[in-house]
Amino acid sequence: MKRRRNVEAFSLSFLDCICCGFGAIILLLVLSKIYEPVILEKSQEDLDQLIALLQEELFDIRGQTTVVTRMLSAVQLETSETKLTLAQLQVELNKIQGQYDLMNQDDPILNVDEGKLRAARQRLTEEMQRLAKFERAPDDAVGGIPVDSEYVIFVIDTSGSMQAKWGWAERKLSEVLNVYPRVKGLQIMNDNGTYMFQQHNGVWIEDTPQVRQSIKNQMRVWAPFSDSDPSDGIQYAIETFWSPEKKISIYVLGDEFQGTSAAAVVRQIDRVNVEDKDGNRRVRIHAIGFPYSFGGAQIPNSSTKFAGLMRILCERNGGTFVALTNADR
């Protein structure tokens, strides 16, 4: 038999095939790398364009932000001016509202027609002519109280002891108002300087029938805090309302003085209510003293001090002190 020839595993033909395979792979790799720089360059150009576009948009946004910021500043300034104007208008509104509140819209006088007003004015003119010869001189007095003043201020003790006799105080206030048929200005405050009508702080209230009725109505429910020391209210009234061309009277209504020294109060009032060259004070000071209690109870020292203080103040400041003894006076 013919023996077969042994075949070698790593023959030349096999190595040729292997080399051809590796060569093909290397060729593929070389061919795939040829276009890579072009792709990278294209990507870089796209990125540069994108960055330029984003920078342009950023500049536009910054410009718009500057414009918006400028507009916002202008709006804020305009808002501040508007708020200031609104505050001023609110003050004016409060003032007008206060004047409106003082007027009694239900007063019959406001409902009288024009014909009745003409007739009433005619009758009033005739009556004035008839009574002209009986008119009081400017320095005349009613019940010993000079009524030559054109402006009247009430300084009223609103403490608990006065509230116990408040109806009596209301009547005396009404009687004093009746002594002055018409004045140029009125004001009401308590002995601590608290105004009855807060919307008229520091200014005169025009005297009208409606205002007088409003004062009487408010007096029924008015009860602010009081320390029973009239010196504060008197001093505040003089310093706030005194004017050289005005004739002013202050009426003090109270029943006690809780201060430490009446002499100190007299000196204090002398400093603010100074005398002129003729010996006249800036304002007149009158006082009405109410008894602290009835029924023979012991009079407290504070009530005695009030009477002594008011007697001296009224005497030194051209006024009159009236001391009440019972509720029938």
The per-residue pLDDT for range 103-153, each reduced to its tens digit, is 545 444 445 455 555 555 555 555 445 444 434 444 454 445 667 799 999
Whole-angstrom Cα distance, residue 250 to residue 243?
14
- The pLDDT score that the predictor gives to residue 282 is 93
pTM above 0.75, yes or no: no
- The pLDDT score that the predictor gives to residue 63 is 85
At 236, which helix (H) or strand (E)? helix 230-241
Coarse DSSP helix, strand, coil percentages of the chain, rounded to the nearest 5 percent: 55, 10, 35
- The pLDDT score that the predictor gives to residue 142 is 45
Q: Which of 21-30, 115-124, 144-153, 183-192 has the lowest mean pLDDT?
A: 115-124
Whole-angstrom Cα distance, residue 96 to residue 255?
36
Quick one: which of 191, 129, 115 has its CA closest to 159?
Answer: 191
Q: What is the mean pLDDT of residues 273-299?
A: 84
Q: Which residue has the higher pLDDT, 54 or 109?
A: 54
Buried b (16+ CB within 10 A) or exposed e, 208-220: bebbbbbbeeebe
| The pair of three-digit structure tokens given for residue 31, joined into one six-digit string | 């061919």
Q: What is the mean pLDDT of residues 249-274?
A: 93
Q: Which residue has the higher pLDDT, 217 or 62?
A: 217
Phi, psi of 285 (to 5 degrees): -125, 115
- The pLDDT score that the predictor gives to residue 95 is 73
Does the pLDDT at position 49 exceed 90? Answer: no
Q: What is the mean pLDDT of residues 28-43?
A: 64
Does the pLDDT at position 3 exceed 50? Answer: yes
- The pLDDT score that the predictor gives to residue 270 is 94
Q: What is the mean pLDDT of residues 82-105?
A: 74
Q: What is the percentage of the chain residues whose pLDDT exceeds 90?
A: 43
SS (H, E, C) 174-222: HHHHHHCCCCCEEEEEECCCCECCHHHCCCCECCCHHHHHHHHHHHCCC
- The pLDDT score that the predictor gives to residue 308 is 93
- The pLDDT score that the predictor gives to residue 272 is 95
Does the pLDDT at position 183 exceed 60? Answer: yes
- The pLDDT score that the predictor gives to residue 134 is 38
- The pLDDT score that the predictor gives to residue 143 is 44
Please report the sign of the dihedral spanned by the C-alpha atoms of residue 248, residue 239, residue 159, residue 267.
negative
Mean pLDDT of the chain: 81
Q: Which of 24-38, 95-109, 209-223 has the lowest mean pLDDT?
A: 95-109
